[in-house]
Structure 1
């Protein structure tokens, strides 16, 4: 009851703040009867809070306007990543949204002043669609299970088309938005990516819940076996079907979660895609449903659709599992702080570290 009362108070405060702050920015012309409806602000996540609401007003001409919106606010307390930046994520979505096949929600406005809501935030248009679930895994439950084989095949094919479209972006102006501010000249995008990862690893190393030895071994392999490539395209950073909204006819309505986006070879994303499917399926004891391709079929179809692979993907699956292990180790700490039992919290890094071990064995065999 206390938690419900706290949540209600939080939503009321958000609604009142938006009613006072938003009208002149969302409806700058003469208007009246500005209102906020259907506000839903679930408990803040570890990388930011999402708030859903509808804003409406009457124009000077007497027309009633209404917009369904999503507010994404940077996490002010618990953070999974070392440098959360909500406004950068908004800029990335704006830069990518105009490219063929790359569908991102439209950014309505951004606000850097933390005094408004407690942290920087942005508003975007709400996209309606069905999103495959992580918990419980979409390989076992949810609307994806109710699809027939051909529908699942179609959904997955459309998802891979979207990934190929992301990797087809080679516009210099767009890539400049995604590059790290301190990116050095005469250093490849992959080397830059690994340098940032090394720094993140060093920051989190002392607080690893488990897997310290395996991750140390993995980092030795990753740093000593760097592919010789100067490829640079968009790296989504969290490329997977769970970050896509699908229309009723199984087209891709939107691509979400660009928080860790950067640049580099496309194999970074493809390695993450392959690893995360295993994390949500085989690592949980599930078998892929009919219509959902295995790793080899994913790679083959990615290439048929126009994607390019120029390196050993085994390196990139180790890289992906290594990154996931850092994330889930941090997540376990935050979950325990939030009251979750330690055994359940540890299960996430346990699965991720086990994948690191699996991919290391594949790479060195």
Structure 2
């Protein structure tokens, strides 16, 4: 078989092989660094459902001074990303993330780690990857949910919680002010016509859902797409981070030190980000049946903070944007559930690809809008 016809290579599986490969790669990236060595490789167990993450340190001498820095390598998942592919230039998830993170960093509106070059050569680690600096800080957990346990419950004061949520929402509001055209982000334009729209995203997700379902029925998700299509508000397109939540930020002293996980970025009204944020807020409290932590801004307060920072008005359309977020989350659950079933993590039938808490939550949101299910 010719080299270009070979299937995807399996990523190397042990820390020492990673260390050797990263050691050689880092020396190529930093030719002025004397006696560079990679060490302290840490590989959290990879699920294959999102980017594989590898932590490592590099020590070198330069101008007679020895220094050590910590880094993070993000490696392409074996089956690609979970979210719909916006354009052909977005097919490699970690390349997409590297490109948008570089652009956001250049804009200066949100904290982004220092980035080393994207590496497309699968001969290094088995799949494409990029490396960025490691940012010290805290990350709110999903399991157990940060509203149930962890530093926000055990250590934070009400003022800390208010400051943290406000900073998260204001960071999103600042992103809403970016101009995708002046930033050269036309490579994210779904139809490549220079006029991206909310309708483009609804159509993209409808096609994605049809493809991933492969003939299966998903009445609640189908109803949500129809409702979103029929009730779409008018809102100017901007840059939507796409996965805007507390757990995708790194926190120092309850201030955002880094905005992470950009694989869901799109050209879409940025109201989608505050919708996704309040959706996760509702899930993290209501769906877990836990009382709101003291100091944690309410949904209405979060929207008001975003409006003040972005200069845009959400108003009553916040319900629309929350349903838009819930639809997107439910859509990627199809692919995630199928991958988990193939891996033997969950039984194939009944499948969580369709029957899951995200679908239930989406159904409740639609019923509040008078949709019969």
The two structures have a TM-score, normalised by structure 2, of 0.86
Distance 1:345 1:76, change over 3 A: same
Q: CA deviation at 1:255?
A: 0.4
Look up the match of 1:120: 128
Q: CA deviation at 1:273?
A: 0.8
2:204 paired residue among 196, 199, 203: 196
Structure 1 distance, partners of 2:339, 2:162, is: 37
Contact 2:307 2:314 in 1 (8 A): no
SS across alignment from 2:214: helix
Unaligned runs of 5+ in 1: 1-6
Q: CA deviation at 1:82?
A: 4.7
Cα RMSD, aligned residues only: 2.5
SS across alignment from 2:281: helix
Look up the match of 2:6: none
Q: Name the stretch that deviates more: 82-91 or 249-258.
A: 82-91
Contact 2:57 2:70 in 1 (8 A): yes
Look up the match of 2:245: 240
Look up the match of 2:67: 65
Structure 1 distance, partners of 2:306, 2:173, is: 7
2:359 paired residue among 336, 350, 353: 353
Q: CA deviation at 1:325?
A: 0.8
Distance 1:265 1:352, change over 3 A: same
1:51 aligns with 2:57: no
Structure 2 distance, partners of 1:225, 1:306, is: 23
Contact 2:101 2:112 in 1 (8 A): yes
SS across alignment from 2:182: helix
Q: CA deviation at 1:329?
A: 2.8
Distance 1:82 1:44, change over 3 A: farther
Distance 1:30 1:118, change over 3 A: closer
Contact 1:175 1:263 in 2 (8 A): no
Higher relative helix content: 1
Look up the match of 1:3: none
Structure 2 distance, partners of 1:178, 1:152, is: 37
Look up the match of 1:256: 260
Structure 2 distance, partners of 1:9, 1:344, is: 32
1:93 aligns with 2:101: yes
Superposed CA deviations along residues 40-62 of structure 1, whole A, max 9, x for unmatched, are 11122412111111111223x43
Q: CA deviation at 1:18?
A: 1.4
Contact 1:137 1:281 in 2 (8 A): no
Contact 2:142 2:247 in 1 (8 A): yes
Contact 2:213 2:334 in 1 (8 A): no
Q: Name the stretch that deviates more: 352-361 or 169-178.
A: 169-178
Q: How many residues align?
A: 351
Matches within 5 A, 1:24-39: 24-25=28-29, 27-29=30-32, 31-32=34-35, 34-39=36-41
Superposed CA deviations along residues 254-309 of structure 1, whole A, max 9, x for unmatched, are 00000010112121111111111112221122222111122222112222334412
Runs of 4+ in 1 over 6 A off after TM superposition: none
Contact 2:243 2:261 in 1 (8 A): yes
Unaligned runs of 5+ in 2: 1-10, 86-91
Distance 1:181 1:14, change over 3 A: farther
SS across alignment from 1:64: strand
